[in-house]
């Protein structure tokens, strides 16, 4: 149905913000059309790992309607049976591997001009329980994120071996360091001590590497981390330089 939910950015509203069409996968089809029109050769789209998607376009979702409820459809990463040519809109489930297969059937694979070249394993999972608390009210765990990332990456590579997988799409330095652990959650400290990791990214990369070795194919092509600069300098060129804060001793953003 192409319904989307804005989370706390806008009243936890499920609506037509991304698309008013009922054509399955309309958003990614429009992405492809716009990219071709503007001579953009590389297209990246997001695959949902948080567990639920909007089931309707009926506006704000109350706390009492937090998933699971009839305001949401469940996300299953692997269907385990034949893919439908047209997604079933009545079963209350969205199969992510079936979604990728549908994209390929509609647009072509990653080698085609209209196909999708990159798939992001969701977006900023540490904020799921904050921005999208009606969908994923509990903090994401290291085990959950690795398990889902590996399963979804395997599905992508099976369906389109040349497509690139991006992850874990983390939002900022604290997530790079310890994912979503706080004083009440100590999963990271346990994992860190057991494996002599420096920060969480070591753990994620190690999990993806081990899974890649087992699968016989690379499951993570791009380490995707998001850095929000505090730079007050103007202009894209100057702001791009601000990432040097992360690795260049003595560099000052402003």
Distance (Å, rounded) from C-alpha 41 to C-alpha 47?
20
Q: Which long-range contacts (CB under 8 A, 24 or more apart) does 243-248 make?
A: 246/173
**Strand pairing category for 59-60 and 13-15:** antiparallel
pLDDT digits (tens, 9 = 90+) for 219-237: 999 999 998 887 777 788 8
Measured distance CA(14)–CA(60) in Å, rounded: 6
pLDDT at 143: 98
Q: What is the pLDDT of residue 59?
A: 98
Closest CA relative to residue 52, chosen from 18, 76, 78, 75: 75
**Predicted local confidence at residue 242, as pLDDT:** 86
Mapping DSSP to helix (H, G, I), strand (E, B) and coil, where does residue 193 land? helix
Contact 25, 1 (CB under 8 A): no
Rounded to 5 degrees, what angle do the CA atoms 180, 183, 188 make? Answer: 45
Question: What was the pLDDT predicted at 43?
Answer: 99
How far apart are alpha carbons 132 and 167 in whole angstroms?
19
Q: What is the pLDDT of residue 185?
A: 85
Burial 78-100 (b: 16+ CB within 10 A, else e): ebeeeeeeebeeeeeebbbbbbb
Q: Decide if 154 contacts 200 (C-beta within 8 A).
A: no
Distance separating alpha carbons of residues 48 and 97, to the nearest angstrom = 11
pLDDT in tens, 123-149: 999 999 999 999 999 999 999 999 999
CATH fold for domain 4-246: TIM Barrel (3.20.20)
State the pLDDT at residue 229.
82
Which of the residues are catalytic? 124
3-state secondary structure of 95: strand
For 107, the 3-state DSSP assignment is helix
Which residue ranges make up each domain of the chain? Answer: 4-246
List the chain residues with pLDDT less than 50.
Answer: none
């Amino acid at each position: 149905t192409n319904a989307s939910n804005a989370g706390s950015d806008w009243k936890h509203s499920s609506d037509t913000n991304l698309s008013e069409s009922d054509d399955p996968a309309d958003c990614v089809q429009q992405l492809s059309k716009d990219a071709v029109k503007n001579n953009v050769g590389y297209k990246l789209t997001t695959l949902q790992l948080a567990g639920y998607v909007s089931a309707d376009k009926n506006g704000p979702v109350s706390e009492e309607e937090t998933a699971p409820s009839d305001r949401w459809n469940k996300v299953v990463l692997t269907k385990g049976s034949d893919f439908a040519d047209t997604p079933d809109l009545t079963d209350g489930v969205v199969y992510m591997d079936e979604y990728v297969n549908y994209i390929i059937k509609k647009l072509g694979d990653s080698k085609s001009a209209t196909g999708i070249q990159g798939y992001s394993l969701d977006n900023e999972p540490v904020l799921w329980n904050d921005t999208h608390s009606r969908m994923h009210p509990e903090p994401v765990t290291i085990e959950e994120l690795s398990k889902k990332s590996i399963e979804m990456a395997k599905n992508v590579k099976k369906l389109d071996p040349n497509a690139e997988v991006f992850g874990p799409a983390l939002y900022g330095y604290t997530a790079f360091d310890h994912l979503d652990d706080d004083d009440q959650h100590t999963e990271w400290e346990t994992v860190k001590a057991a494996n002599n990791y420096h920060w969480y990214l070591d753990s994620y990369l190690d999990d993806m590497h081990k899974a890649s070795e087992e699968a016989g194919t690379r499951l993570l092509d791009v380490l995707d981390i998001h850095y929000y600069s505090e730079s007050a300098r103007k202009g894209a060129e100057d702001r791009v330089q601000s990432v040097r804060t992360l690795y260049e001793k003595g560099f000052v953003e402003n």
